């Protein structure tokens, strides 16, 4: 992922130096397991530990140079270790296949990436919760099909977001557990040259779980679950961003992204304040869904393994995790600084002359003994006067003889009280936030 859409913490996790360090850790843990199993000398392990070291940019360049000849990244890495360590390096990778290193280290990387993502989700959850309680009783118009429906509160809207983000967190936490597996089972997963106890040692040392059964690779349904959970989280963020974009429209203007000192909205129109953060989140969510599809395509490999998944994962591993990481922190910052305009919300509540009280009136007429369909006709015909003639809905109702036979003026007026829509806000919050 380009630097513009990634944070340093996630970029560092996927750097070449970090990747090589994880390969080293897998190899050393495997050799340690071999020593414990009596399959390799302890002196070789001590020598390899002492000399393996870390990896600099110059080391990365040297390994790349070797790979240009070998056309094999793991062999290039092992050749480099032989140059650095000397004869003891021959005990590294004993009985192992490349995917033992690659898949186990990928499990480590995706696990650690998920930890960063969960921290980002926690920040987003905290931001949404704070603003939800701030606006628990800030009344605004609820909309369905983009049309005024009935009043809600802005806090209620945010409580829904919080609940959804909670599910995203639970999915990602499960996916982290699913992906945090390793394998040191050899060329086709049969442990033909190393016993399972070596794999168990490696996984315990690295904080992973051994894959119960593997071929040459860890099965890619695990990875598909992981990247799908990322895409779902991104899609939820896009949903929230689209809502912010709607609320920021000039004709609505109930909420607005922060507009900082010196910021410019348009090269041509100095007055513009555009929802660029939310639009950016929408675009990035599209990438995440594409990465998820690619991960699903990786599930079907030939026989015990082919490498059709390899090129895909080299791209989607760093890109998908960096993208969601960036999105989570951008969204959290957006919510933290979101401008909310309660007075504009109040103004918009009255745009349709009170017709949004139609259901309350319908139900009140039904309670008074009127047939529901007959009540519907009375309420609707008066509501349509507002649309077609600009007549105030409440005044139209009070002048309707059929309605007056069932409801007093006081009962009609009570149906327009927005407080009826706040009666259970606290209960909803208790259910969501507990």
Structure tokens at 7: 């944070």
Can you name the residues that pair with 147 across neighbouring β-strands? 144
Is residue 21 predicted with pLDDT exceeding 80? yes
Task: Give the pLDDT of residue 384.
Answer: 94
Residue 249: which of 229, 278, 269 has the closest Cα? 278
Final residue of a domain: which of 45, 79, 94? 94
CA gap 110, 102 in Å, rounded: 12
pLDDT tops 90 at residue 261: no
Q: What's the token pair of residue 226?
A: 């992981």
| Whether residue 267 has pLDDT greater than 90 | no
- Percent helix, strand and coil across the chain, each to the nearest 5: 70, 5, 25
End position of a domain, from candidates 308, 333, 351:
351
Distance CA 252, CA 229 (A): 33
Answer yes or no: do 185 and 220 share one domain: yes
Residue 1 has pLDDT above 80, yes or no: no
- Six token digits for residue 336: 């933290």
3-state secondary structure of 148: strand
Q: Once rounded to an integer, what is the mean pLDDT over residues 410-419?
A: 92
Q: Which of 61, 94, 127 is the last residue of a domain?
A: 94
What's CA 283's distance to the chain center, in Å? Answer: 14
CATH of the domain at 166: 1.20.200.10
Q: Predicted confidence band at 84 (pLDDT cuts at 50, 70, 90)?
A: very high
- Which residues, 6+ apart, have CB-to-CB distance to 278 below 8 Å? 241, 242, 244, 245, 248, 257, 334
Residue 88 has what pLDDT?
97
SS3 of residue 65 by DSSP: helix
Residue 237 sits in the same domain as residue 120:
yes
Helix axes 358-367, 372-389, angle to 10 degrees: 150
Answer whether 27's CB lies under 8 Å from 200's CB. no
3-class DSSP state for residue 218? coil
Span of 32-46, 161-175, 394-408 with lowest mean pLDDT: 394-408
* 22-53 residue pLDDT tens: 999 999 999 999 999 999 999 999 999 999 99
Of 333, 388, 322, nearest to 355 by C-alpha is 388
90 and 131 both lie in a single domain: no
| Residue 270 pLDDT | 87
Residues 136 and 213 in one domain: yes
User: Same domain, yes or no, for 2 and 133?
Assistant: no
Asked if residue 225 belongs to a domain, the reply is: yes
| Each residue's pLDDT tens digit, 372-398 | 999 999 999 999 999 999 899 999 999
Q: Tell me, yes or no, whether 1 and 62 share the same domain.
A: yes
- 231 and 141, same structural domain? yes
319 and 387 housed in the same domain:
no
User: What is the set of active-site residues?
Assistant: 145, 266
- Please state, in angstroms and rounded to a whole number, the distance separating the CA atoms of residues 340 and 237: 19
Give the tens place of pLDDT for each residue, 314-365: 999 999 999 999 999 999 999 999 999 999 999 999 999 899 999 999 999 9
Distance, CA of 347 to CA of 394 (rounded, Å): 17
Q: Taking all residues of the chain, what is their mean pLDDT, rounded to a whole number? A: 96
pLDDT value of position 60: 97
CB-based contacts of 288, cutoff 8 Å, min separation 6: 230, 231, 233, 234, 235, 320, 323, 324, 327
Of 374, 382, 423, 378, the residue nearest 403 (C-alpha): 378
Residues 6+ apart with CB under 8 A from 343: none
Task: For residue 419, name the pLDDT band (cuts at 50, 70, 90).
Answer: confident
How many domains does the structure of the chain reveal? Answer: 3
Task: Report residue 266's pLDDT band, with 50, 70 and 90 as the boundaries.
Answer: confident
CATH number of the domain residue 7 falls in: 1.10.275.10
Which pTM value belongs to this model?
A: 0.94
What's the pLDDT at 36? 97
Q: Are residues 366 and 340 in the same domain?
A: no
Range of 189's domain?
A: 95-258+269-351
Are 30 and 126 members of one domain?
no
Residues 160, 76 share a domain: no
Asked if 274 and 199 sit in the same domain, the reply is yes
pLDDT reported for residue 406: 92
pLDDT value of residue 295: 97
426 domain-assigned: no
């Amino acid at each position: 992922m380009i630097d513009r859409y990634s944070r340093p913490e996630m970029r560092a996790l996927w750097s070449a130096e970090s990747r090589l360090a994880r390969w080293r850790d897998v190899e050393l843990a495997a050799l340690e397991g071999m020593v414990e199993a009596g399959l390799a000398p302890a002196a070789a392990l001590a020598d390899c530990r002492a000399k393996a070291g870390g990896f600099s940019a110059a080391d990365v360049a040297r390994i790349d140079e070797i790979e240009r000849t070998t056309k094999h990244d793991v062999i290039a890495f092992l050749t480099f270790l032989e140059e650095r360590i000397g004869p003891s390096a021959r005990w590294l990778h004993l009985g192992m296949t490349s995917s033992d290193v690659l898949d186990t280290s990928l499990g480590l990387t995706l696990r650690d990436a998920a930890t960063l993502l969960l921290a980002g989700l926690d920040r987003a959850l905290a931001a949404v919760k704070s603003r939800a309680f701030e606006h628990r009783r800030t009344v605004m118009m609820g909309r369905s099909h983009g049309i005024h429906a009935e009043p809600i509160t802005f806090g209620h809207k945010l409580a829904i977001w919080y609940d959804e983000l909670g599910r995203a967190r639970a999915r990602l936490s499960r996916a982290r557990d699913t992906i945090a597996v390793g394998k040191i089972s050899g060329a086709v997963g049969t442990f033909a040259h190393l016993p399972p106890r070596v794999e168990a040692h490696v996984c315990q040392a690295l904080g992973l779980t051994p894959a119960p059964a593997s071929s040459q690779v860890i099965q890619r349904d695990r990875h598909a679950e992981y990247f799908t959970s990322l895409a779902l989280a991104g899609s939820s963020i896009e949903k929230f961003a689209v809502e912010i974009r709607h609320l920021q429209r000039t004709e609505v203007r109930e909420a607005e992204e922060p507009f900082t000192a010196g910021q410019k909205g348009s090269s041509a129109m100095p007055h513009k304040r555009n929802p660029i953060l939310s639009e950016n989140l929408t675009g990035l969510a599209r990438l995440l869904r594409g990465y998820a599809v690619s991960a699903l395509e990786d599930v079907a490999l030939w026989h015990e393994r082919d490498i059709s998944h390899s090129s895909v994962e080299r791209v989607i591993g760093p890109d998908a995790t960096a993208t969601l990481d960036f999105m989570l922190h951008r969204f959290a910052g957006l919510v933290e600084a979101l401008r909310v305009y309660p007075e504009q919300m109040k103004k918009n509540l009255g745009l349709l002359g009170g017709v949004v009280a139609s259901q309350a009136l319908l139900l009140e007429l039904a309670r008074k003994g009127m047939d529901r369909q007959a009540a519907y006709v009375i309420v609707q015909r008066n509501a349509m006067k507002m649309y077609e003639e600009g007549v105030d809905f409440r005044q139209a109702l009070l002048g309707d003889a059929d309605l007056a036979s069932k409801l007093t003026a006081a009962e009609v007026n009570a149906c327009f009280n927005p407080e009826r829509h706040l009666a259970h806000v606290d209960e909803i919050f208790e259910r969501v936030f507990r």
